[in-house]
Amino acid sequence: MIAAFEEKVSLIEQRMSDSKLVANFLSYLESNFKDRIVWDNGRLIIDFRIKKEADEKPSLKDSLGGEYVNPLPEVTSEKDMYVLIKDSLENTASDVSFVVSSSFCGSNCSIDDVLGKTSEIAKLILSHHPELAYADKWSISASTYKSSSYKITITFNYFYPLDKVKEMKAETEAKAREIISKITSPKMTDLQKAKAIHDYIVKHTKYDYKNYISGTIPFESFTAYGVLIKGAGVCQGYTAAFNLLGQLAGLDSIGVSGTGIRNGKEVPHAWNMVRIDGKVRYIDATWDDPVPDRGDKVMYTYFNLTEKQIEKDHKWNKEDFSEKYFDYK
């Protein structure tokens, strides 16, 4: 038994980058030595003494904390990575790790290529889903994994401590559910639901114009929390609120980031692309909300527009905001 163990230790030291081999080796140890295994501060200890009652050791699973029991998820496509990062942001995770296979970007794919693509996808997710944009920055680390894969770890930088972010998101979602239960019903068409959401946001939100002019916009105004809880926001907040309410009502909606043309000038702007009764339409609730605020006054200049209609004064990268992203969930 000792000889067999030494042989496997030698093999495992040569190929420590192979997580499957590590998992198999640990499984072998547990099946043969069971509760004689202890994982102590990075060291694997096996007790070969005659077992006594006082020599009880924790199980391998408890000692490892599940690290080898649950291998890292593998990413083979843009959609895989998109969904994984998006789910992590939805769960307010501090970080997420995964393995990128060679099929992700071809056999000649370098670490720099993977890092660049990962950053692009993270940025795109926050544009598509500003309701998740409580993190504005992130750091990405990469290391070689086996011979043709990379292990990627993304660490998110949130505007507030995680506990506060979770509280804000929970309060916003609870409010959103309450709103949807009052303004929509299952019998309504997509168009009716979209109009109800559009009208609610315009009637209950004041554009944060004063802070916009002075350049002192608080972070909350960029979020669904600012619009639905505080009743004030800018275009990103309007877009985030529409996304959140739309999803709860069963609508496919993503945010679009680009520029809007006002008085002959292009300014950074955001609005929604929505699938309404099977057709792609655009809604800009921000520009349908009068400034200064007029209470229940609602405009429909930018409601349910076709691409041709809205592109007259809105510009964006259409490849980054295409219909395929409705199904990235």
Q: What is the DSSP letter of 15?
A: T
Closest by alpha carbon to 131, among 89, 186, 97, 167? Answer: 89
Q: What is the pTM of this model?
A: 0.78
| Selection from 325, 186, 177 nearest residue 252 by Cα | 325
| Mean pLDDT along residues 167-191 | 97
Q: How many CB atoms lie within 10 A of CB 105?
A: 16
Are 226 and 256 found together in one domain?
yes
Mean pLDDT to the nearest integer, 15-25: 53
Write down the pLDDT at residue 133. Answer: 94
What pLDDT band is residue 293 in, cutting at 50, 70 and 90?
Answer: confident
For the segment 180-239, what is each residue's pLDDT rounded down to a tens digit? 999 999 999 999 999 999 999 999 999 998 998 899 999 999 999 999 999 999 999 999
Q: What region does 10 belong to: left with phi over 0, alpha with psi -120 to 50, or beta?
A: alpha
Q: What is the mean pLDDT of residues 243-254?
A: 98
Task: Choose the weakest-confidence range: 15-19, 33-37, 78-82, 271-275.
Answer: 15-19
Range of weakest confidence among 68-77, 113-122, 250-259, 270-279: 68-77
Q: Which amino acid is at 65?
A: G
Q: How many domains does the chain have?
A: 3
Mean pLDDT of 50-74: 55
Note the pLDDT of residue 66: 46
Query: Do residues 156 and 94 make contact, with C-beta atoms less than 8 angstroms apart?
Result: yes
Same domain, 153 and 208: no
pLDDT at 13: 47
Average pLDDT, integer, range 288-316: 93
- For residue 288 the two structure tokens come to 């349908």
Identify the CATH number of the domain in which residue 280 sits.
3.10.620
Same domain (yes/no): 245, 177? yes
pLDDT band at 101 (very low <50, low <70, confident <90, very high): confident
pLDDT of residue 36: 57
Rounded to whole angstroms, the Cα distance separating 97 from 88 reads 10
| Share of residues in the chain with pLDDT > 90 (%) | 65
The confidence score (pLDDT) of residue 223 equals 97
User: Which domain CATH number covers 141?
Assistant: 3.30.1370
Say if residue 11 is in the same domain as residue 122: no
On whether both 310 and 210 belong to a single domain, the answer is yes
Q: What is the dihedral of CA 106, 110, 116, 119, to 10 degrees?
A: 80
Per residue in 129-157, pLDDT (tens digit) is 999 999 988 999 988 777 667 899 999 99
- 196 falls within a domain: yes
For the chain, what is the mean pLDDT? 85
**Is the model's pLDDT at 242 over the cut of 60?**
yes
> pLDDT-derived band of residue 122, with 50, 70 and 90 as boundaries?
very high
142 membership: H or E segment, kind and range: strand 135-145
Say if residue 7's pLDDT is above 70.
no
pLDDT, residue 48, reads 53
Tell whether 164 is covered by a domain.
no
pLDDT at residue 84 above 70? yes
Domain containing 9 equals 2-64
Residues 200 and 238 in one domain: yes
Determine the pLDDT at residue 103: 78
Residue 165 lies in a domain: no
